[in-house]
Structure 1
Amino acid sequence: MNKPFDPTEPSIGFLLYDTARLMRRDFDRRAKALGLTRAQWSVLAHLSRNEGSNQAAIADVLDVEPITLVRLLDRLEEADWIERRIDPKDRRARLIYLTAKARPILAEMQILGAETRDLMLAGLADSEREALYRNLIQMRANLANALKNPEQNPGPAAAAPTIREATNA
């Protein structure tokens, strides 16, 4: 079901990116009163699901440079939102944990996140929401698999037109 390239229609990649961007901006607007930056709430949200992660894993998931994350963690630690503990398996590494101070803010962040999701999904029936989730999960799995196994997914098929060819057609 591949449609021909139409430069007047936004691509799925652009729609996904722009929707995620607008979600972050709406959440930022709601979370402003909490006194957290986007980067800070991203770390706290990740830790709420993956407490005890090491700095390298957090940097990878958040797609930031390790030095950027270290500075961010320094500020979170100074504000008593997180604590670093020595990794019992590697004394050079530190594992990151939430503090008691961070726990109440996570509940507030979940409420704000639910408000943003409700706004974004307004007008979609429950069945459409479920289909959207299933499809996004499948798309994410496809891309994650391609990144884990690049030899199985080397790139575009030889017969696929390049962007230049598609736009000149």
Structure 2
Amino acid sequence: MAQDTPEAAEGPVGPGQQATVPVPTAAGSGPISHAIFRLARLHRMFAGQLLRRIGLHPGQELVMMHLWELGARRQADLVRLLDSDAATMTRTVRRLEQAGFVRRRPDPTDKRASLIEPTAASHALRREVERVWSQLEDISTAGLSDEERAAALLTLERLEQNLVQAAASPDAVAEP
């Protein structure tokens, strides 16, 4: 049974310790899935706190990372690159544009499209984003040895690959 007292939520979870959030009985057959859900929620919460300090919301930094690395891109390309949906990307780009971190310019090869490109102002932001991601990495992996970090990364990559393969196979999510 998971710890569910306020005191339990204060301490770290180590080997053999229970999660700080109670696992509902209905989730008992999916303890790894429940742990991923909790981990993703906490990671996004910390990312949001750190990113707010530099004027960004979670997800915006990922758009900026790709634009800094790849240069100007069509919005549809960003949707595919980040595995997003068009409506979310439209809101994200609009907010980044309002903040002065990206601008739109006509696509010279497609008059119907525009390119999203990082502004000069965003390049100072890059160092801050890198600092935030480094801090988030340190928070997330505190107390892990180099070997444990490498093993965690391999496990997460394997879990992701399993889900990518399942998504590509319609039969993988069929009713039992």
Same fold per superposition (TM over 0.5): yes
What residue is the counterpart of 2:114 in the other structure? 94
- Whichever residue aligns with residue 93 of structure 1, its letter is A
| 1:113 counterpart SS class | helix
| 1:124 counterpart SS class | coil
Q: What is the distance in 2 between the residues matched to 1:157 and 1:66? A: 27
| 1:84 lines up with 2:104 in the alignment | yes
| 1:71 counterpart SS class | helix
Q: Deviations over 1:100-148 (max 9, x none)?
A: 1111112111111111111111121111111111222222223223333
Residues 129-168 of structure 1 aligned to structure 2 (within 5 Å) = 129-148=149-168, 150=169, 154-155=171-172
| 1:80 counterpart SS class | coil
- Whichever residue aligns with residue 132 of structure 1, its letter is A
Number of matched pairs: 152
- Whichever residue aligns with residue 172 of structure 2, its letter is G
- Range with greater deviation from structure 2 (102-111 or 25-34): 25-34
Q: What is the distance in 2 between the residues matched to 1:10 and 1:146? A: 16
Q: What is the distance in 2 between the residues matched to 1:67 and 1:25? A: 22
Q: Deviations over 1:79-110 (max 9, x none)?
A: 32102233333221222211111111121111
Q: Structure 1 residues 65 and 6 mapped into 2: Cα distance closer, same or farther (>3 Å)?
A: closer
What residue is the counterpart of 1:22 in the other structure? 42
Q: Structure 1 residues 12 and 82 mapped into 2: Cα distance closer, same or farther (>3 Å)?
A: same
Contact 2:166–2:172 under 8 Å retained in 1: no
Q: Structure 1 residues 142 and 68 mapped into 2: Cα distance closer, same or farther (>3 Å)?
A: closer
Identity of aligned residues (%): 30
Q: Larger relative CO (CA 8 A, sep 6+): 1 or 2?
A: 1
| 1:101 counterpart SS class | helix
Contact 2:101–2:118 under 8 Å retained in 1: yes
Contact 2:60–2:96 under 8 Å retained in 1: yes
- Range with greater deviation from structure 2 (52-61 or 26-35): 52-61
Task: Give the alignment's Cα RMSD to 1 decimal.
Answer: 2.9
TM-score, scaled relative to structure 2: 0.69
What residue is the counterpart of 1:34 in the other structure? 54
Q: What is the distance in 2 between the residues matched to 1:25 and 1:91? A: 40
